[in-house]
């Protein structure tokens, strides 16, 4: 009987390990499959996903257009006219693992960026960076917000009144006289109301025990701009350093910036662009969205006029290939295209393009990719295929990029 029970336990552990391993494996496959895919009309799209899945293509009426497509090999899809399609994938042809929304669209042309701007964003509420312990006037250590307000929350109301700035919050806490306060926060899209009693610290001031901010700023690179004044920059969202969350914003502005120096990157120590932002001058564009694919805005007509950027085709992700490409970077009053080597492409991962800087000129200037270059266009075969997003922390000569068609997908929901 004991041996039988042991056998059951071993069988259960084995089944769990197999199931857990299968779950991890399925997730790793799903990460290689894009949620969305754009193909230009009357074009041939070539993909090399190299994953053991079989796909079926459906049109918007659920009619099968193509079946038993082996994505373990190179796949060529011939598109027709514009329209909506779906691709369902089955692992080893048996287990459904993912679906891609595939859209056939007209070719898109944009004006290449590569120049830097100053960025200023206003948070959509008062953002909670962290909580802290307060030493009270009578010597106790208290965390008033513990279990009620979390880092990453947005305080939107205090005692029923809308609260947009940290000054409004500080004033309300100061005037509370230690009485309970109704604090409304936005967390994961939900509004939650909590009652918190401020405590008096050793300086005699009332505190909630939270660190907050209501804005952020920095230097970034514009990826593209259009004649109508719309633009996109960075290729990734502006996030909070503590939580890593992309900040939910009310609005923002871009300003002219002057790069004073470049701190080259080192292994384990990313470099950066050092510059000044003149907030005294009028802004040169407005920011309306901060998403995981970059920041987006309008009214940047002066950028189009000032830099005379080149009109280029925005390539579909399927047009990108491993090998030689170029990073466009505005330096010393002119555009420069620096050679890179694309070493890997991933259609489902947020880090779509992996590359290594091979330009001796750029290596001498920056030792690779530095902070502030995020958003620099990646150009291949005369087309914009993507934008720089991140640098390898342990190797500043290597970086990641996002496909340009992902950035052009303005209908995708923002990450808050």
Picking from 158, 193, 208, the residue at the C-terminal end of a domain is 208
Residue 127 maps to a domain: no
**Cβ neighbours of residue 67 closer than 8 Å, sequence gap 6 or more:** 56, 57
Whether residue 158 is found in the same domain as residue 275? no
Residue 413 maps to a domain: no
Tokens of 307: 């830099």
Q: Say if residue 142 is exposed, middle or buried (CB neighbours under 10 Å; 0-12, 13-18, 19+).
A: middle
- Looking at residue 54, which CATH number applies to its domain? 2.60.40
Whether residue 9 is found in the same domain as residue 44? no
Whether residue 242 is found in the same domain as residue 363? yes
Whether residue 11 is found in the same domain as residue 72? no
Picking from 158, 174, 208, the residue at the C-terminal end of a domain is 208
The DSSP 8-state label assigned to residue 374 in this structure reads T
Domain coverage including residue 47: 36-106
Whether residue 185 is found in the same domain as residue 74? no
Picking from 168, 186, 208, the residue at the C-terminal end of a domain is 208
Residue 238 maps to a domain: yes
- Cβ atoms < 10 Å from Cβ of 110: 24
User: How does pLDDT run across 70-96, given as a tens digit for each residue?
Assistant: 888 888 888 888 888 888 888 877 778
Residues 299/300/302/305 CA torsion (nearest 10 deg): -110
Residue 412 maps to a domain: no
User: How does pLDDT run across 232-264, given as a tens digit for each residue?
Assistant: 999 999 988 777 788 999 999 999 888 888 888
Whether residue 182 is found in the same domain as residue 51? no
170 alpha-carbon distance from chain centroid: 31
Please state the domain count of the chain: 4
Residue 86 maps to a domain: yes
Whether residue 23 is found in the same domain as residue 149? no
Whether residue 400 is found in the same domain as residue 293? yes
Beta-bridge mates of residue 310? none
Q: What is the pTM of this model?
A: 0.85
**Cβ neighbours of residue 327 closer than 8 Å, sequence gap 6 or more:** 337, 338, 340, 357, 359, 362, 369, 373, 376, 377, 378, 379, 388
Whether residue 151 is found in the same domain as residue 169? yes
How many Å apart are CA 351 and CA 396, to the nearest integer?
A: 16
Whether residue 357 is found in the same domain as residue 283? yes
- Looking at residue 194, which CATH number applies to its domain? 2.30.42.10
In terms of DSSP bridges, do strands 108-112 and 210-225 run parallel, antiparallel, or are they unpaired? Answer: antiparallel
How many Å apart are CA 94 and CA 248, to the nearest integer?
A: 40
Residue 266 maps to a domain: yes
Whether residue 239 is found in the same domain as residue 354? yes
Whether residue 80 is found in the same domain as residue 171? no
Per-residue pLDDT of the chain (416 residues; tens, 9 = 90+): 556 565 666 666 666 666 666 667 677 777 778 888 888 888 888 877 778 888 888 888 888 888 888 888 888 888 888 888 888 888 877 778 888 888 888 889 999 999 999 999 999 999 998 888 888 787 778 888 888 888 889 999 999 889 999 899 988 988 888 888 898 999 888 898 989 888 888 888 888 888 889 899 889 999 999 888 899 999 999 988 777 788 999 999 999 888 888 888 887 788 888 888 888 778 888 999 999 999 999 998 888 778 888 899 999 988 999 999 999 998 888 899 999 999 999 887 678 999 999 999 999 999 989 888 999 999 999 999 999 999 888 889 999 999 999 999 864 444 33
Residue 354 maps to a domain: yes
Residue 415 maps to a domain: no
């Amino acid at each position: 009987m004991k041996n039988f029970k042991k056998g059951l336990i071993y069988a259960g552990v084995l089944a769990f390990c197999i199931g857990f391993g299968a779950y991890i494996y399925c997730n790793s496959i799903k990460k290689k499959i894009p949620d969305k895919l754009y193909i230009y009309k009357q074009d041939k799209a070539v993909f090399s996903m190299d994953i053991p899945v079989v796909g079926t293509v459906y049109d918007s009426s659920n009619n099968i257009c193509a079946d038993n497509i082996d994505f373990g090999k190179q796949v060529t899809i011939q598109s027709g006219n514009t329209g909506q399609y779906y691709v369902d994938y089955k692992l080893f042809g048996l287990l459904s693992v993912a679906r891609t929304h595939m859209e056939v669209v007209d070719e898109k042309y944009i004006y290449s960026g590569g120049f830097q701007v100053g960025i200023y964003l206003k948070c959509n509420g008062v953002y909670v960076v962290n909580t802290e312990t307060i030493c009270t006037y009578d010597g106790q250590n208290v965390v008033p917000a513990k279990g009620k307000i979390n880092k990453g929350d947005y305080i939107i109301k205090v005692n029923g009144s809308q609260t947009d700035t940290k000054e409004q919050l500080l004033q309300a806490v100061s005037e509370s006289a230690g009485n309970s306060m109704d604090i409304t926060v936005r967390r994961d899209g939900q509004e939650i109301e909590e009652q918190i009693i401020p405590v008096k610290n050793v300086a005699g001031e009332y505190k909630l025990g939270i660190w907050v901010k209501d804005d952020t700023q920095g230097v970034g690179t514009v990826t593209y701009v259009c004649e109508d004044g719309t633009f996109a920059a960075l290729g990734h969202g502006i996030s909070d350093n503590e939580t890593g969350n992309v900040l939910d914003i009310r609005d923002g502005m871009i300003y002219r910036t002057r790069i004073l120096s470049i701190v080259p990157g080192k292994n384990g120590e990313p470099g950066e662009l050092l510059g000044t932002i003149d907030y005294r001058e009028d802004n040169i564009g407005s920011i309306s969205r901060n998403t995981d694919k970059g920041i987006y805005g309008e009214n940047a007509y002066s950028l189009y006029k000032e830099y005379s950027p080149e009109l280029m085709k925005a390539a579909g992700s399927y047009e990108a290939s491993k090998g030689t490409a170029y990073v466009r970077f505005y330096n010393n009053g002119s555009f420069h295209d620096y050679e890179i080597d694309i070493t890997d492409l991933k259609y489902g991962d947020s880090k779509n393009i992996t590359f290594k800087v091979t330009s001796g000129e750029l290596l001498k200037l920056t030792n690779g990719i530095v902070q502030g270059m995020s958003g620099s266009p990646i150009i291949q075969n005369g087309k914009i295929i993507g934008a720089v997003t991140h640098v390898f922390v342990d190797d500043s000569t290597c970086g990641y990029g996002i496909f340009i068609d992902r950035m052009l997908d303005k209908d995708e929901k923002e990450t808050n």
